[in-house]
Every structure is written in structure tokens, then in C-alpha cells.
Amino acid sequence: MKHLFFGGIHPKYNKEMSTGNTNFTTVTPAEVVIPMQQHIGAPCKPLVQVGDQVLRGQKIGDGEGLCVPVHASVSGVVTAVEQRPHPNGQMVTAVVIKNDFQDTTAEAKEQNPEEMTHDEILAAIREAGIVGMGGAAFPGNVKALSAMGNVDTLIANACECEPYITADDSLLRTNPEHVLRGMRILKQVLNPDRLVLAVEDNKKEAIEKIQTYLGEFSEIELKVLPTRYPQGAEKQLVQALTGREVPPAKLPVSVNCAVFNVSTFAAIYRAVCLGMPLTQRIVTVSGEAVENPQNFIVRIGTPFRDLIQAAGGMNEKTERVISGGPMMGVAQNTLEVPVVKATNSILCLLKDKNGAAENPVCIRCGKCVEVCPMKLQPLYLYRYEQAGNIKELERLNITDCIECGSCSFTCPGKLPLVETFRKGKKELKEANTK
């Protein structure tokens, strides 16, 4: 039985722009920039110095605590260890490698997960630098560890509900087996009663491809959900599949569910079985301002500029380049930022259709309340943030905002709602740490 979540919207998806070509082009740049911060948690410390020769797959950064390592995505020489721009808008420490185009690869250890302990599997996931690849970038081994003994449902998220993005869709249309094998590996660790691969019904080719494998992977259920944004948000997906509502300020594990992106499952398979660290991923390059929108297999650290050029370049009238989707993505002020582990899309738009107006005005129509999937009251959150009323922001559960952009999309007054809520959450956090 399908359980509809509250709210949501139906934007124009524009996914057909990048789905025509499934023969991926692999982009291998002359230089890669590998940020030491590609995950939620503590940044890595560089393990290499300028002048060092490195191999593809070699660990070049690591740390302690909530941290996973980063690896060289090409072989070559380290030319710099310095501050570089990151897609999140910050300057972070990065290792710059000049590609020798030899692709000399560090030794990989292939293993049979059925012969491995739970701890060994989790260690392999960590050592490969696996993070949530749908955008959250939470360390995969930590997420799996927190779910051990606490979940009865393991969910593979293939909804990919943001407009334009088709990276996960293209993975499932070409190689769903790696995803399904990754699910089977985590099943061994988490021992859930139910395994579900969830996909929206606008991905017909992917659905047909997955169905050809279900005879071999009979323990996995394929659930096709009606297309509605933000179906791929964890809490909404859990409700749609199980009927359970994740409480405010809680995670899916609180209702005995664990959700991982399908690209993350594929990376887990390659890490555990093939010994391959996360050094590349599929990235959608799309938007009306791109000459040839398509999906690429991209080395981590590839500058946005190189990837856009590989897509034929962008229109000189481009108004905005976004890392991620148009609803939740981050606008960039330079094309020198690199692809990181959580980069699923680069969008080049002629006009920011969802942007705020020059003189935004709330007309108190209540549309934002009707579409908010978290059942929040965006008009009051906006009002109280503008007034600096931190106590009311906390009372109205601003931290539950998933920044999906549904409110901004539907607002006739074009208020900068998501930007305001991000600011409000930061202010609340600062107030609670004083």
C-alpha cells in the first residue's frame, strides 16, 4: 500500500534533456582538485606533500572522528596543497594533482562479502571513502553502524525527484546490478526484514531494466511511486513506503528504517567486492544554457569548467550555474570549483526561474503552508526570522525544514524563503551554543 506524504509540488521536470545518451563519456582532466572536506564531519588532513607522486585510488587524506578518507582520482604529481573554492561556497584545503594520464592504480583487494565480518565490511566502506551520494554526504560506515540492530526496513532511494537530474536514473538504466549487490551487502550487516528499491514512475526505462534482475535478487522489492516532489526526501520516502512518520528532529532510524541513495549502494559494492575507493561518479550536466546536456562519468576533483566544456559549453547569456538541482542546489560564483563525492548535477540556466524578486512581499495566501512536506508554517518562519525572534523559530520547529524549496517555488510574492530558513537555522544553532 502506498502512503501519500503531506504537501509537495509538481514542477516541470525537464529530465528528457539529459537522458538520450547512455554511452557515458568519461571526463579525465589535466588537473584535479581534491578537497579534504567532502563529507559531513571533520575534514581530512592531507597525507601527501607537493612533489609527491600518487597513484589513482591512493589515500591522500584522512582524519579521526566523524571522517572518511579521500583518494586520488588520477595518477600524477601533487602540485599544491592549498585553499581552494568548494561547491558549498567556502574555501577549503585541497590537494591539487597534475594528471600524468597513465592511470597507474593503487593495488585493489577483491573480497567476498559472505566471508567477511560486519566490522570488516564497515571498515571497507570507510576506507573507500563512501558517503551519501544523493547530496547529504554523511559517512556511509557511520550511518550503517547506527542502523545495526535498529532497522527492519532498508530502502534504496532512486526517486531522484529534483528537476533536470538523471544521474541515478542513468545508473539504473545501464548497471542496476551493482546497486542490487550493494543492497545485499548492507542486508548482511543490518539484517532487515525488508529490502525496498523505490523509484518514481517517470523512470520507465530504469524500472524495466531493474525488473530483469529481480529473479536473481528476489529478496528485493521494487516499489514504483507516483512522481511528486520531494518524494526522494528521506522522511517523505519512509512515509510513502511504510506509513511511518519520522518524528520532529529525528532520523529514519527512529522508526526502524535506513535510507541510502542508489549510487551509494553501487559504491559500496565496488568498495567491498572490488576494493575500489570512491574516485569517480556519474554527474548530470544539463539546463537550457548547455549545448549538449548529458550524463558523464567524472573523476572526483574535475573542475566544473572542464565538465561544462565536455558538454559543448554554455550559452553566453547563462545567468546561473548551480551545483545540484534547481530546488536545493547551490549557485556558484566560479567554475573552478571541483566535482566532489556528493555532486550529482551541474545546471546551467538562462534564468533563475525560482529566484526571489527584487522587492518580495508576503501576501499571506498560505500556499507555502499547503505544499510544505514537513507541515511547517513557512510564512511565520520567515516573519520571525526577519524579526530576529529565535525563540519562535525554535517553537515552530525550523530545524525540521529540509530546504526542499517547495515553498519558494509556489510563493507568488517570490520571498527568499529557503535562504531565510538556512540563515534562521544557523542563528538558532549559534544561540543554543552560547
Q: Is 269 exposed, middle or buried (0-12, 13-18, 19+ CB in 10 A)?
A: buried
Does 114 lie in the same domain as 248?
A: yes
Matching residue, cell 529525528: 250
Give the end of a domain, one of 257, 274, 291: 274
Helix (H) or strand (E) holding 261: strand 257-261
Does 397 lie in the same domain as 255?
A: no
Does 269 lie in the same domain as 165?
A: yes
Q: What is the pLDDT of residue 1?
A: 43
End-to-end CA distance of the chain: 47
Which residue segment(s) compose the domain that 156 sits in? 109-274
DSSP letter (8 states) at residue 2: -
pTM: 0.94
Give the end of a domain, one of 274, 293, 327: 274
- pLDDT tens-digit series, residues 105-135: 999 889 999 999 999 999 999 999 999 998 8
Average pLDDT over residues 239-246: 94
Q: Is the pLDDT of residue 233 over 70?
A: yes
Residue 171 lies in a domain: yes
Residue 375 lies in a domain: yes
Query: What is d(CA 312, CA 297) in angstroms, rounded to the nearest whole number?
Result: 16
**Cell representation of residue 364:** 499571506
- pLDDT tens-digit series, residues 287-341: 999 999 999 999 999 999 999 999 999 998 899 999 999 999 999 999 999 999 9
Instruction: Tell whether the torsion through CA atoms of 79, 303, 265 and 401 is positive or negative.
Output: positive
Q: Tell me: cis bond preceding 163? Omega within 30 of 0 counts.
A: no
User: What's the number of domains the chain is made of?
Assistant: 2
Give the end of a domain, one of 248, 274, 300: 274
Name the pLDDT band for 352 (thresholds 50, 70, 90).
low
Does 386 lie in the same domain as 258?
A: no
Average pLDDT over residues 237-243: 95
Residue 359 lies in a domain: no
Does 386 lie in the same domain as 260?
A: no
Does 236 lie in the same domain as 123?
A: yes
Nearest to 383 by CA among 365, 362, 369: 362
